Each structure stands twice: as C-alpha cells, then as structure tokens.
Amino acid sequence: MEQYKQLTKAEEDIMQVLWKLDKAFIKDIVDEMPEPRPHYNTVSTIVKILCDKGVVGYESFGKANRYHPLVKKDDYSKKTMKQFVKKYFEGSYGSMLSFFAREKDISISELENILTQLKNENRKK
C-alpha cells in the first residue's frame, strides 16, 4: 500500500463505490455513482488510472473487465488520516479533536464515547 500515490477526490469517489460493490464492471460503477453521474468514459479513465496506481485490479471477460479494489478501505482510511493529522495538526490526534471540539463539530458526549471506546480497546490488549 505504501507504493501508491495520493488519490484525487474523483479517484476516491470511485474507490468508495468499488469498496461497496467489491467487484464491478464500469457500468455498475457508473450506476452506483450519485447524480449527476459522470460519463462512462470518465469513469473508465479514472479506473484505468487507479489500476496504474496499483489500488485497483481486474479480471478480463472477453472485451469487458471486472474491477476490484486491491487496497482495503480500512488501510486506506488509516493512511489518509495519518497524513491529514500530520499535515494539519502536527501529527497530534489530540490537537485534531480539540479543533473539532472548539468548532462545535464534535460534542462532549461524542468525545466521551470515543474515550470509552479507547479504554475498552486498551483493556482487550
């Protein structure tokens, strides 16, 4: 997973669909996209770029390809969040949570729930 480059918003949108569907032809991906749906050729081009980046693979069925993610959503999310926190919050998840609390994007009860989850996870270890 370390070898791939940062994905664009359009690439991430396609990946969200592929993670949901697991395996899909281009038409399936287009059908799953929100309105206004991108053109078939646009999706096809983006999927080819994702294949070139090593995050999507495919199986051939005659002239058609069925695509599937090569990167797990959880793995991508972890890497992306680490980069986000490093870039905007100097690597501190505490600073990130403080920011969202100050901006009223996260409530005290949500923070307490997070703390409870963390405590439960640590007990399991």
Q: What is the mean pLDDT of residues 64-70?
A: 96
Which residue blocks in the chain are alpha helix, DSSP H?
9-21, 26-32, 40-52, 73-89, 93-102, 108-124
Q: What is the mean pLDDT of residues 71-92?
A: 89
List, in order of start, the domains of the chain with CATH numbers.
Answer: 9-69 (1.10.10.10), 73-124 (1.10.4040.10)
Q: What does the pLDDT look like over 10-52, one tens digit per residue? A: 999 999 999 999 999 999 999 999 999 999 999 999 999 999 9
**Is the CB of residue 14 less than 8 Å from the CB of residue 43?**
yes
Grouping H, G, I as helix, E, B as strand and the rest as coil, residue 125 is coil
CA-nearest of 23, 79, 82 to 56 is: 23
Q: What is the mean pLDDT of residues 83-100?
A: 86
Mean pLDDT across the chain: 89
Grouping H, G, I as helix, E, B as strand and the rest as coil, residue 117 is helix
